[in-house]
Amino acid sequence: MTFGGGYAMLPILQREVVENKKWATEEELTDYFAIGQCTPGVIAVNTATFIGQKNCGIIGGIIATIGVVFPSLVIIIILAGLITNFANLAIVKNAFAGIRVCVCVLIFNAICKLWKSSVKDRLTLCIFLAVTVASCFLNISPAIFVLVTVGIGIVLELLGKGVNKT
């Protein structure tokens, strides 16, 4: 599942980590996704590192990171050697067009699962809508949105009106 990058891997991580292996809860995984998005690197790799470290310490984090990166690395090396020779073939172009559509569906699936575990009340819905509208119309770094929403969350918690308290 290297096509589509880290976001395309989120549904797979969710299924394996929460449902099959039970290494983390849905809420923990959502927190890992949020933190993984805010830190440098690919979200799926960052998330795997968090889960590995949580379950087996530093060595677990290192092994989990290698486990997520290595298969993609091998596939990318193989594809990089082949793609230059075949990129202009119609069948290859059509294959990649199909892959792009599939990746969109995988990312949409990840969004739906994140929605269910993140937007729980009117407050989180308002934050979601405000960030969505602002990101569509303003040319602002996503890091600014994260910092602003962190600040809003802290202020609301200090005021006693945090998430699930309204």
pLDDT at residue 162, as a whole number:
67
Q: What is the amino acid identity at position 162?
A: G
| Domain around 26 | 5-116
Q: Are residues 125 and 109 located together in one domain of the fold?
A: no
Q: Are residues 64 and 90 located together in one domain of the fold?
A: yes
Spatial separation of the C-alpha atoms in residues 91 and 78, rounded to whole Å:
18
Spatial separation of the C-alpha atoms in residues 116 and 130, rounded to whole Å:
18
Q: Are residues 34 and 79 located together in one domain of the fold?
A: yes
Q: Are residues 159 and 127 located together in one domain of the fold?
A: yes
Q: Are residues 101 and 25 located together in one domain of the fold?
A: yes
Q: Are residues 43 and 9 located together in one domain of the fold?
A: yes
Both structure tokens of 72: 């993609």
Domains held by the chain: number: 2
| Phi, psi for residue 34 in degrees, rounded to 5 | -65, -45
- Of the pLDDT bands very low, low, confident and very high (cuts 50, 70, 90), residue 17 is confident
**pTM for the full model?**
0.55
Q: Are residues 90 and 23 located together in one domain of the fold?
A: yes
Q: Are residues 19 and 94 located together in one domain of the fold?
A: yes
Q: Are residues 55 and 72 located together in one domain of the fold?
A: yes
Q: Are residues 89 and 137 located together in one domain of the fold?
A: no
CB 149 within 8 A of CB 106: no
Residue 19, pLDDT above cutoff 50? yes
DSSP state of 41: S
Q: Are residues 32 and 78 located together in one domain of the fold?
A: yes
Helix axes 26-38, 142-158, angle to 10 degrees: 130
pLDDT digits (tens, 9 = 90+) for 59-92: 999 999 999 889 878 888 888 877 878 878 888 8
